[in-house]
């Protein structure tokens, strides 16, 4: 899955392995806002909730429970922190928000198409530990006076020092164990879903720099 995922990165995201041309508006030219970042966090929470609910309730995914990568609780804490620190609350987007749309798709795939669901599971959690954490550092510097959000911390890491790599290694072993029993068709189905995963994750990410209707900060920077 990693090989297919890396091919779908742009050359500015992954200079060595990315095969797509850079986006029309590179990350360096984005103009994020606190309210947009809060929207991204809140919409992301809906995605992680869907993933973690499916894993917790379906036997197909029991190997992926309590991995230490879970993010729902940390995102809830970060949303509360935004209110305490900046007096900001997320503007709810209902069923039309990128997080709600992605969550609905994940719940459907979890029930009907396990290989496709596993593809999303892998890409969401593993991308967050790489590019996602890099974005978190940039946003902390630009918008939050360098405050590190809980979303980017892994206190349950075995070493106790927040090193998430052992957690990823364990999940990789679980992924391999599950995929061993798949047919070639199921494996291909899993890999084919990678592009859809990137598309839906990209819609989430764009929330950071998009104006948020109904807020005073729409279009504003980190004042």
Give the model confidence (pLDDT) of 76-118 as tens digits: 999 999 999 999 999 988 999 999 999 999 999 999 999 999 9
Examine residue 25 and state whether it is found in any structural domain, yes or no: no
Output phi, psi for 10, to 5 deg: -80, 165
- Its pTM stands at 0.85
Examine residue 19 and state whether it is found in any structural domain, yes or no: no
Report how far residue 120's alpha carbon sits from residue 195's, in angstroms, rounded to the nearest whole number. 10
Report how far residue 122's alpha carbon sits from residue 118's, in angstroms, rounded to the nearest whole number. 6
- Write out pLDDT tens, residues 206-222: 999 877 765 555 434 44
Query: What is the residue range of 175's domain?
Result: 2-8+32-208
Quick one: DSSP state of residue 213?
Answer: T
How many structural domains is the chain composed of?
A: 1
- Counting Cβ atoms within 10 Å, is residue 176 exposed (0-12), middle (13-18) or buried (19+)? exposed
CA distances 102 to 13, 82, 186, Å, are 22, 23, 22
Examine residue 26 and state whether it is found in any structural domain, yes or no: no
Answer yes or no: are the C-beta atoms of 121 and 56 closer than 8 Å.
no
The CATH number given to whatever domain includes residue 51 is: 1.20.910.10
Given this model, what pLDDT does residue 162 score?
Answer: 80
Examine residue 85 and state whether it is found in any structural domain, yes or no: yes
The answer for 54, left when phi > 0, alpha when psi is -120 to 50, beta otherwise, is alpha
Examine residue 27 and state whether it is found in any structural domain, yes or no: no
Examine residue 109 and state whether it is found in any structural domain, yes or no: yes
* Proportion of the chain above pLDDT 90, given as a percent: 74
Examine residue 23 and state whether it is found in any structural domain, yes or no: no
Examine residue 217 and state whether it is found in any structural domain, yes or no: no
Report how far residue 198's alpha carbon sits from residue 107's, in angstroms, rounded to the nearest whole number. 17
Given this model, what pLDDT does residue 31 score?
Answer: 87
């Amino acid at each position: 899955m990693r090989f297919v995922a890396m091919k779908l990165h742009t050359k500015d995201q992954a200079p060595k392995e990315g095969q797509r041309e850079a986006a029309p508006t590179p990350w360096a030219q984005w103009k994020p806002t606190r309210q947009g970042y809060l929207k991204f966090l809140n919409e992301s929470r809906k995605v992680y909730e869907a993933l973690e609910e499916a894993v917790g309730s379906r036997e197909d995914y029991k190997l992926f429970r309590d991995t230490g990568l879970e993010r729902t609780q940390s995102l809830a804490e970060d949303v509360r922190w935004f209110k305490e620190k900046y007096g900001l609350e997320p503007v709810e987007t209902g069923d039309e928000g990128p997080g709600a749309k992605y969550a609905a798709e994940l719940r459907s795939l979890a029930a009907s198409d396990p290989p496709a669901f596993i593809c999303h599971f892998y890409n969401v959690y593993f991308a967050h530990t790489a590019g996602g954490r890099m974005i978190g550092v940039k946003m902390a510097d630009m918008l939050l006076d360098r405050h590190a959000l809980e979303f980017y911390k892994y206190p349950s890491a075995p070493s106790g020092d927040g090193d998430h790599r052992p957690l990823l290694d364990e999940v990789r072993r679980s992924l391999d164990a599950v995929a061993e029993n798949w047919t070639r068709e199921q494996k291909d189905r899993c890999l084919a879903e990678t592009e859809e995963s990137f598309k839906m994750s990209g819609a989430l990410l764009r929330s950071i720099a998009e104006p948020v209707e109904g807020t005073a900060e729409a279009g504003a920077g980190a004042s």
